[in-house]
Amino acid sequence: MIEEGSIDDRDTFLHAVRDILSSYSGKQGFCTNHMVQPTGSRNNSFFPVFVGSQTMTPTYVSACALVEQISELEDELHCYQHELENVLPRERGRFIDEQCRMVQILEQILSVPVTHMLPKFTPWPLAQALEELEMISYEVSASVNEVMMAREEKTKMLQQPSRNAQQERRVFADFFCHPGRLENQVRELTSRVRGIPE
């Protein structure tokens, strides 16, 4: 609340409050600080006043405006005190905890003897995923080997009846067409059986 006009120079308290608020507002860029002699002054005293950015006429703050500005300053001071007492200690504690955790991790890494094993810099989730992938790869390789062995056994089983069928056809043909050759094969097999030591 801004009012224009002269004030009583005998009100030293009002002058002191205006000096404080004028310096505070001058720092914020709200107004400029000038030394103006009040209208109707009986002495040569000067005091700072507020000068607006658009007009250069001297303006004076009323008591209500001074009370309002003082209240704003008190609220701002309370806000800073709240941050100083609550926010800053909590942030400081969090920062200290993070630094201590980092120091502990570095100490654990540096304490691992290099002769036995190198420190693992791989993040734990990635290392766990790699281990699971390695186990799955091993299981897949074992399954592929089992399938290959089953296929080989099946191929052998399929080839065995064909050999037996060929031998049966040969014996059948020799029985009717070449009985002498069949007799020679029987004698040869008999001699082999007799030659086997008991």
pLDDT of amino acid 8 = 58
Verify that 6 and 45 share a domain, yes or no.
yes
Tokens of 6: 């002269």
pLDDT of amino acid 30 = 42
User: Does residue 3 carry a pLDDT above 80?
Assistant: no
pLDDT of amino acid 58 = 44
Q: How far apart are CA 93 and CA 86, in angstroms?
A: 11
Q: How far apart are CA 56 and CA 189, in angstroms?
A: 136
71 in Cβ contact with 39 (< 8 Å): no
Verify that 135 and 175 share a domain, yes or no.
yes
pLDDT in tens, 132-143: 888 898 888 888
Verify that 93 and 115 share a domain, yes or no.
yes
Average pLDDT value for residue range 156-166 = 70
Number of domains, the chain: 3
Verify that 131 and 117 share a domain, yes or no.
no
Verify that 75 and 113 share a domain, yes or no.
yes
pLDDT of amino acid 4 = 42
Find the domain containing 87 and state its range.
Answer: 69-121
- How far is residue 79 from each of residues 24, 28, 82, 132, measured CA to CA in Å? 17, 18, 5, 53
Does pTM top 0.75 for this prediction? no
pLDDT in tens, 56-103: 444 555 677 778 888 888 999 999 888 888 888 888 888 898 888 888
Verify that 40 and 97 share a domain, yes or no.
no
